[in-house]
Amino acid sequence: MDTHTLVEPQQASRKRRFPTALKIQIVEETFEPGNSMSLVARRHDINTNQLFAWRRLYRNGMLGQSSKLLPVRVEPEIQPATDADVDHGSMLEIFVSNRRIKAVGLVDGELLRVAIEALK
């Protein structure tokens, strides 16, 4: 008696490619009030873990967003601060989305504001 093994043909790969603009649009939907990661993932038929990965890339500025440039102002040369000018006891640490700004001594408020905005 002849025996044959039945082999199923391989299914086509389900791996899909999403344009960067669509990834950004989908990630930004997760920030809208009333939306959750799972709802957005189901709406677009993608795995929630994939959406979490895109969102992490988005927050780190690595999902195709252009880099943010900070404004720079050139001023005349000034004398470096001496130990008497800097209060070494003053320190400010700010954490925004797993990033950190650490300021020691005298800090220009406007420069600090711009740095914090760049981290968002």
Q: How far apart are CA 24 and CA 35, in angstroms?
A: 15
- State the DSSP string of 85-99: TS-TT-EEEEEETTE
Specify whether 80 is located in the same domain as 51.
Answer: no
pTM for this predicted structure = 0.45
Amino acid at 60: N
Assess if residue 64 is contained within a domain.
Answer: no
Q: Residues 79, 118: one domain?
A: yes
How many folded domains does the chain comprise?
2
How far apart CA 60 and CA 54 sit, in angstroms, is 10
Instruction: List the Cα angle 112/53/97 in 5-degree steps.
Output: 20
For residue 6, is it within any domain? Answer: no
Domain range for residue 93? Answer: 71-120
Calpha distance 48→15 (Å, rounded)? 15
What is residue 37's predicted lDDT score, i.e. its pLDDT? 92
Per-residue pLDDT tens digits of the chain, which is 120 residues long: 555 565 566 666 667 889 999 999 999 999 999 999 999 999 999 999 999 999 999 888 888 765 566 667 777 776 665 655 555 567 777 776 667 777 777 777 777 777 777 776
pLDDT tens digits for range 76-86? 776 665 655 55
